[in-house]
Amino acid sequence: MTATKDPEPRGRRRSFDVDQAVETAMRLFHARGYDAVGVAELGAELGIKPPSFYAAFGSKAGLFERALQRYIQGEANIFARALADGGDVATVIDRTLALAARLYPRRDGVAGCLVLDATRNSADPDACALTAAAKRASREALRAFIATERPAKAGALADFLTIAMAGMSAAARDGADEAALTAFAETAGRAFRREMEAD
């Protein structure tokens, strides 16, 4: 992406790449959580001063929203990736859990899911509202997919998966490795299949 014009006086151009700035912020928020990353640190990492920061993003929450959108639209959207490969509900859910087990363990200082963990215990209502909306959308996508086969159980099974994924993300941030998460994912997948098949 090319730099865009800065809405500051005298028609000055931004001296930073907005797309790269969002990528950098996404990694910081993911690694440390929303509250632990301050505006001053963001400005230093992005190489911009506060006026340029606020002109580009409006607020820290505004940048976080952009970072969340980037994250959700990328490879970190585990359910969308699992769904793209096709299969019945149980197969796609097995694939979703297996992908989470592979992707959530710490790599390059980052563990877990940005959506699930970035605002855990956060005091910022705007940031919490953003992740809450993303979680609701994720749960609804799961519920709607499960409902294609088991509509009466879709809500309860979507809740089961949402809680399982949140637990996997939290465990990864606490140091759980891929082997431990894979064992859990397999157990959760078997439990999901049993509930799908039960009358």
Residue bearing tokens 């994720």: 138
| Collapsed DSSP state (helix, strand, coil) of residue 75 | coil
Question: Residue 32 has what DSSP assignment?
Answer: H
| Cβ pair 67, 29 in contact under 8 A | yes
17-71: CATH number? 1.10.10.60
Identity at 152, one-letter amino acid code: A
- The encoded tokens of residue 24 equal 């950098």
Domain boundaries, the chain: 17-71, 78-197
Q: Where are the alpha helices (DSSP H) in 33-59?
A: 39-46, 50-57
How far is 121 from 16, CA to CA, in rounded Å?
32
How far is 68 from 128, CA to CA, in rounded Å?
12
How far is 77 from 168, CA to CA, in rounded Å?
15
**Per-residue pLDDT of the chain in tens (199 residues, 90 and over written 9):** 333 444 444 444 445 688 888 999 999 999 999 999 999 889 888 888 888 888 889 999 999 999 999 999 988 899 999 999 999 999 999 999 999 999 999 887 789 999 999 999 899 999 999 999 999 999 999 999 999 999 999 999 999 999 999 999 999 999 999 999 999 999 999 999 999 998 7
Residue bearing tokens 């990328």: 74
